Amino acid sequence: MNRFCLLLLWSVYAFAHAESDLSFANGFGQYGVGLRVVQLVDRARVLRDKIDLLSGAPATGERARPIQTLIWYPATPNSGTPLRYDDYLRTAATELEFARTASDVTRHVARGLKDDYANLNDAQAARAAAQVMRAMRDARAAPGTFPVLIYAPGSSSSAHENADLCEYLASHGYLVLASASVGVNTRSINLDLEGAEAQAGDIAFLTGYAQTLEQADGARLAVIGYSFGGLANVLAAARDDRIGALVALDGSVRYFPAIVQSAAYATPERLALPMLYLGGKPRTAEVMNRNQQVPSSSLMNQMKYADLYNVTMDTMEHAAFQSESLRLGPEQRFGDYTLAEAALAYGWMGRYVLAFLDGYLKNDASALAFMRNRPQQNGVPAHLLSLDLHLAEGGAPTLATLAGSYARRGHSKLADIFQTMSKRDARFKPGERALISWGERFLEQTRYREALEIFALTSALYPDSPRARFYLALGYDKHHDDVLAIAAYRRVLALWPDMQDALRGIERLEGVPAQRHANFEVPAVH
């Protein structure tokens, strides 16, 4: 056994009761904290290439994407096996290889500490590894269900990088899941759209897995992302409206605007959800210019349909937003500030994360008031942080909000509702097929008047589409408005002369005595 391992074993004994210096402004919550490590595989995606990168030969064995997941959960206090920081470090060794031996894991930890934290001598590393944590392995789960939080680490980082924050949130009644930041086909992640979407895919996988957990209240879901994870979580939310809130810890959604712009689906309309952005002290324009980081645009500035809390942590450099750096990193990682100052700010960061989540996932009015107070009102030390708040400018113009407004108006005057929404955003134009699918649902329920309003709007927005015209004709036909149906079918044929359904519709209607009269007027859409 090498010298480091001997020191590690000695230190675990000598410092068994050593506590972390990290603390939170309002302390831990009423629950104990349990930790489970589950080794999952996403068989819908591949991690390993067809060719093994080490041997150059065809890959053998499992190639699907491994997703080892750490789960922090509200637990009965003091009901499990106490954890030390070394237990978290050891989980990093089995992220991609689940079946490593204990000795292999120990060597991996020692090598990782020496590679990533060369500032630590053996004794310092051992002392840090021996620190007692709040979580207990396999503690008894507290009764009830709890909001779900997915934690997305920074680029290529391990799931435990913010274990302190995850423990803190679990103690306040949250179920927290995290997996490592892994690239498309390698352990390291590329800082590009493909890499961000790979991590967003892991978030989506954990979102689905969380629904299977007994303690999970899947209807209350948020994603927290640090650094590059704070870009991946935005992409995940743009694709999954079950995500009800976002937290970015100095997230890369600010620092990589080109990646955000290349994700065309990440629009303000799809990101109409509350967001808390906690950022480090801003760099000067000159420094950002030298580093080619001057944003050409800011997605956050465009998120006008979201409550956006932009909190600047004046005594935190980027590394201070993850507790691993506070535990293991050299003081130089925190710029002009001491470790104590960075740790104090970290505690207040956690306090703001908790208040934000309580406000939006637990509907806690006092937590929302905290978020909207001036920092001094919340007891924040002077010059520690500042808040810039922008509240949502109404609901986002989407097909879903259009349908909601239509229902509230008693399913009438759809054209007027659309005109009001389009005045707020002239680009608002629901997709043709989405509108038709919406109208078909009313057709299936023989609610022809509502279907006709939807198909009339579709035809007005897509006047050159024979499909849109056909569904308007079909709506008239189903509603027994024969004259209007025949005229509408003829407009379809003007765009698509040999459309058989339109031809058959005209033949059938013109062969029936005209005993009925049109009783639906097409609403005008401007």
Phi-psi region of 501 (alpha: psi -120 to 50; beta: other; left: phi over 0): alpha
Looking at residue 80, its amino acid is: G
Q: Is residue 16 over pLDDT 60? A: no
Q: Of the segments 54-63, 199-208, 309-318, 498-507, which one has the largest average pLDDT value?
A: 199-208
CB atoms near residue 67 (< 10 Å)? 24
The β-bridge partners of 152 are: 225
* Strand 308-313 to 245-249 pairing: unpaired
In this predicted structure, what is the pLDDT of residue 524? 52
As a whole number of angstroms, the distance between CA 39 and CA 143 comes to 24
For the purposes of burial, counting CB atoms within 10 Å of the CB of 499, is it exposed (0-12), middle (13-18) or buried (19 or more)?
middle
Sign of CA dihedral 328, 331, 333, 337: positive
**Tens digit of each residue's pLDDT (9 = 90 or more) over 503-516:** 999 999 998 543 34
Measure the CA–CA gap between 187 and 197, rounded to whole angstroms. 15
pLDDT for the residue 9: 33
Tokens, residue 381: 């030390």
Residue 464 has pLDDT above 60, yes or no: yes
Looking at residue 439, what is its pLDDT?
97
Confidence of residue 284 (pLDDT cuts 50, 70, 90): low
| Residue that the structure tokens 């480091």 belong to | 4
CA 508 to chain CA centroid, nearest Å: 53
Q: Is pLDDT of 486 > 80? A: yes
Instruction: Express each pLDDT in 253-273 by its tens digit.
Output: 999 999 999 999 999 999 999
Strands, E assignment, 103-230: 132-137, 146-152, 175-179, 216-226
pLDDT above 60 for 490: yes
Pairwise CA distance, residues 19 & 131, whole Å: 6
Percentage above 90 pLDDT, the chain: 70
State the pLDDT at residue 429. Answer: 94
Q: Can you tell me the distance from the alpha carbon of 417 to that of 43, in angstroms, rounded to the nearest whole number? A: 44
Q: Are strands 216-226 and 146-152 parallel, antiparallel or unpaired?
A: parallel
Q: For the beta carbon of residue 103, count every other beta carbon within 10 angstroms.
A: 10
d(CA 243, CA 271): 10
Alpha helices, DSSP H, located in 462-496: 466-478, 482-495
4 vs 195: which has the higher pLDDT: 195
Range in 11-25, 36-50, 108-122, 309-323 the model is least confident about: 11-25
3-state secondary structure of 383: coil
Residue 80 pLDDT greater than 60, yes or no: yes
CA dihedral 346, 87, 206, 240 (to 10 degrees): 10
Q: How confident is the model at residue 177 (pLDDT cuts 50, 70, 90)?
A: very high
pLDDT band at 305 (very low <50, low <70, confident <90, very high): very high
Average pLDDT (70-77) is 97
Structure confidence at residue 415 (pLDDT)? 95
Lowest-confidence pick of 26-30, 96-100, 446-450, 489-493 = 96-100
Q: What are phi and psi of 44, to 5 degrees?
A: -85, -10
Per-residue confidence at 19, pLDDT binned at 50, 70, 90? very low
Rounded to the nearest integer, the mean pLDDT of the chain is 88
Strand order through the sheet with 64-75:
81-84, 132-137, 32-46, 64-75, 175-179, 146-152, 216-226, 245-249, 275-280, 308-313, 385-390
Amino acid type, 44: A
Tens of pLDDT, residues 338-385: 888 899 999 999 999 999 999 999 999 999 999 999 999 999 999 999
Model confidence at 521, pLDDT cuts 50, 70, 90, reads low
**For 386-427, what is each residue's pLDDT tens digit?**
999 999 988 889 999 999 999 999 999 999 999 999 988 888
* Angle formed at CA 325 by CA 324 and CA 330, multiple of 5 degrees: 140
Could you give the CA distance from residue 162 to residue 167 in angstroms, rounded to a whole number?
Answer: 9
Between vectors from CA 235 to CA 232 and to CA 241, what angle results, nearest 5°?
A: 125
> Does the pLDDT at position 15 exceed 50?
no
Which residue in this structure is represented by tokens 């924040």?
Answer: 380
What is the DSSP-derived secondary structure letter of residue 19? B
Q: Which residue has the tokens 């952005």?
A: 277
What distance in Å separates the CA atoms of residue 368 and residue 364, rounded to the nearest whole number?
A: 7
Taken in order 373, 374, 375, 381, the sign of the CA dihedral is negative
Q: Which tokens is 503 given? A: 């031809």
Output phi, psi for 305, to 5 deg: -100, 10
pLDDT in tens, 95-123: 988 888 888 888 888 787 777 777 777 78
